Amino acid sequence: MFIEPNITGDKRGWIEVICGSMFSGKTEELIRRLKRAKIANLKIEIYKPALDTRYNESEVVSHDANSIPSIPVDHAQSILLLAGDVDVIGIDEAQFFDAEITMVCETLATRGIRVIVAGLDMDYLGKPFGQMPNLLAVADYITKLHAICMKCGNIAHVSFRKTANESQVLLGEKDTYEPRCRKCMHEK
């Protein structure tokens, strides 16, 4: 990723969005970027939706069990209230946040903060998920990651739900979801 050099010395913020299906490595990439920022002695904070307690209530955890401490919040506005004097803010599972998440990210970037957001761009039906389309529209940098289709081995872009539950939000792991390609997502 190319970042323009800041020759004026002013603190410049921007928004990076990491998106893709489940099991594509979104959270892993978010953690990697945040750890690199920490190595560079940048001050970081990480937020996640309080409803995501799959692996840990107060850590962002990837499916590969890598983790980083985080602050669980119920509403996107809470991030603005809690954000301290930081250089980088990470936000995981952005698709679960309310409609204010885009404004929150833009406000933080305007303050000169690098904002790294990870989330599912599509739900289990292959439809845009939550506020992710809005975040993608305002992002300065976008990284789309892909998983491997569990049926045929091709590149997967959808999180296929293996259960009959039709709720858009259903927290789950490998027992509930598997990555599928465009062709295999329509096969049972």
Q: Catalogue the active-site residues.
A: 93
End-to-end CA distance of the chain: give it in Å, rounded. Answer: 38
What CA–CA distance (Å, rounded) separates 52 from 117? 15
Q: Are 91 and 139 in contact (CB under 8 A)?
A: no
User: What is the Rg, in whole angstroms, of the alpha carbon atoms belonging to the chain?
Assistant: 16
- Cβ burial, residue 60 (10 Å; 0-12/13-18/19+): buried
User: In sequence order, what are the residues at sequence separation of 6 or more whose Cβ sits closer than 8 angstroms to the Cβ of residue 60?
Assistant: 27, 30, 31, 46, 48, 67, 68, 70, 90, 92
Q: Are 14 and 140 in contact (CB under 8 A)?
A: yes
DSSP element (H, E) containing 88: strand 88-91
Residue 150 token pair? 């569990």
What CA–CA distance (Å, rounded) separates 126 from 157? 8
